[in-house]
Amino acid sequence: MTMIKTRAAVAWEAGKPLSIEEVDLMPPQKGEVLVRIVATGVCHTDAYTLSGADPEGVFPAILGHEGAGIVEAVGEGVTSVAVGDHVIPLYTPECGQCKFCKSGKTNLCQAIRATQGKGLMPDGTTRFFKDGKPIFHYMGTSTFAEHTVVPEIALAKISKDAPLEKVCLLGCGVTTGMGAVQNTAKVQPGDTVAVFGLGGIGLSVIIGAVMAKASRIIAIDINEDKFDIAKKLGATDVVNPKNFDKPIQDVIVEMTDGGVDFSFECIGNVKVMRSALECCHKGWGESVIIGVAAAGQEISTRPFQLVTGRVWKGSAFGGVKGRSQLPGIVERYLNGEFELDTFITHTMGLDDINQAFDLMHEGKSIRTVIRF
């Protein structure tokens, strides 16, 4: 098999719009798979990396990590997926062999994390080229391309009944929010929850909290346009911190007779991370950081907050082990246990992808799905 031509949105440099162009893609090498991407969501993390704030951001690169597609070819030695299989690329792979996978304590497989963070395939090279010059991969997935090459261990094989233009959102946003509630926090029936930031991630925390039968779900955002959708998904209270002349943590502590059982930061703002911790109940409240903050940003609080029983945690991809657990989450979607349509506020072609970033920055979209 020779190089194929494919269409991709190339991030040539930080802070610049993506450029839609034809690029060359090498065939999948040993342990790799060629996937035709059918649809991809646009997550805030793509915008974060494009902004230049990501210490692992390398350019030129093909961004995108919330996709779904169909296997078109497999490299030597690939046995777990075959041509025609429907797959979701995983930025958190699952090798099953590394210390992290074997620990049973984390989903953070480290088998290929070092090369992935440098925008390279596990052998230290790229598959994408333009005029003979390499273009970096992103999060091991690069879903802003009609075709991409992904390591076998970074593919979840899913049901062919699942609509790829919807379940692509399970490649990041929805799985992350739901999983943070179910796997990281382990919210129990009757627990109270506060969610900071009502984008794709925060709204997915809400659906996770509803599924966990939380008794109260307080949704917080400075953009009140997000409140209707939060209530539709099951938020019991909506709060705009700008409407108060005291810290938002004090407001929530008063609303909940001492604080919530669990809070989730879904913005990437270190000041809000502090509020999210400090609105937790003394003695047992737990706060989960999901938002990604730029290099150089640091969190702070009085250690007394932790001494007196609050717990600070973080969650990546909702603690979900992609290969073994994501197919089951797709089945739960197909069984009607949760919906995805409400998240998809916009759908467009790859040519318009910069508009998807604009809509996100303007606070007008939850998720834009790019359909190839």
Binding-residue pattern over the window 25 to 64 for Zn ion, x denoting contact by CB under 5 A: ------------------x-x-------------------
**Least Å distance between CB 364 and ligand NAD?**
10
Phi-psi region of 17 (alpha: psi -120 to 50; beta: other; left: phi over 0): beta
Site for ligand NAD in 347-366 (CB under 6 A): 360, 363
8 Å CB contact between 141 and 154: yes
Annotated catalytic residue within 113, 216, 346, 371: 113
Q: How many other C-beta atoms lie within 10 A of the C-beta of residue 312?
A: 18
Q: Is 280 a catalytic residue?
A: no
Q: Is 65 a catalytic residue?
A: yes
Q: Does residue 212 belong to the site contacting ligand AHE (CB under 6 A)?
A: no
Q: Does residue 343 belong to the site contacting ligand NAD (CB under 6 A)?
A: no
Q: Is 49 a catalytic residue?
A: no
Our CB check for ligand NAD shows the closer of 175 and 192 to be 175
**Least Å distance between CB 265 and ligand NAD?**
8
Q: Please say whether the dihedral angle defined by the alpha carbons of residues 272, 275, 280 and 282, taken in this order, is positive or negative.
A: positive
Helix, strand, coil percentages, rounded to 5, for the chain? 30, 25, 45
Among 267, 279, 350, 356, which residue interacts with ligand NAD (rule: CB under 6 A)? 267
Partner whose footprint covers residue 269, from Zn ion, ligand NAD, ligand AHE, none (CB < 5 to 8 Å by kind): ligand NAD
User: Tokens at residue 207, please?
Assistant: 């659906």
Q: Is 332 a catalytic residue?
A: no
Q: Is 44 a catalytic residue?
A: yes
Residues 6+ apart with CB under 8 A from 171: 40, 41, 65, 66, 67, 68, 88, 89, 90, 91, 141, 143
Our CB check for ligand NAD shows the closer of 188 and 243 to be 243
8 Å CB contact between 61 and 136: yes
Q: Report the C-alpha gap between 339 and 317 in whole angstroms.
A: 18
Q: Is 266 a catalytic residue?
A: no
Q: Report the C-alpha gap between 365 and 268 in whole angstroms.
A: 18
Tokens 């379940």 sit on residue: 167
Our CB check for Zn ion shows the closer of 95 and 229 to be 95
Which DSSP letter does residue 139 get? T
Comparing CA positions, the residue from 70, 105, 67 lying closest to residue 84 is: 70
Q: Does residue 349 belong to the site contacting ligand AHE (CB under 6 A)?
A: no
Tokens 């070092």 sit on residue: 114
Our CB check for ligand AHE shows the closer of 43 and 252 to be 43
Q: Which helix (H) or strand (E) holds 71?
A: strand 66-74
Amino acid (one-letter) located at 112: I
Comparing CA positions, the residue from 262, 250, 255 lying closest to residue 310 is: 262
Q: Interface residues with ligand NAD (CB under 6 A)?
A: 43-45, 48, 172-173, 176, 196-202, 220-223, 226, 241, 266-269, 272, 290-292, 315-317, 360, 363
Q: Interface residues with ligand AHE (CB under 6 A)?
A: 43, 45, 54-56, 92, 108, 113, 172, 292, 316-317
Catalytic positions, written as ranges: 43-45, 65-66, 95, 98, 101, 109, 113, 172, 367
Q: Interface residues with Zn ion (CB under 5 A)?
A: 43, 45, 95, 98, 101, 109, 111, 172
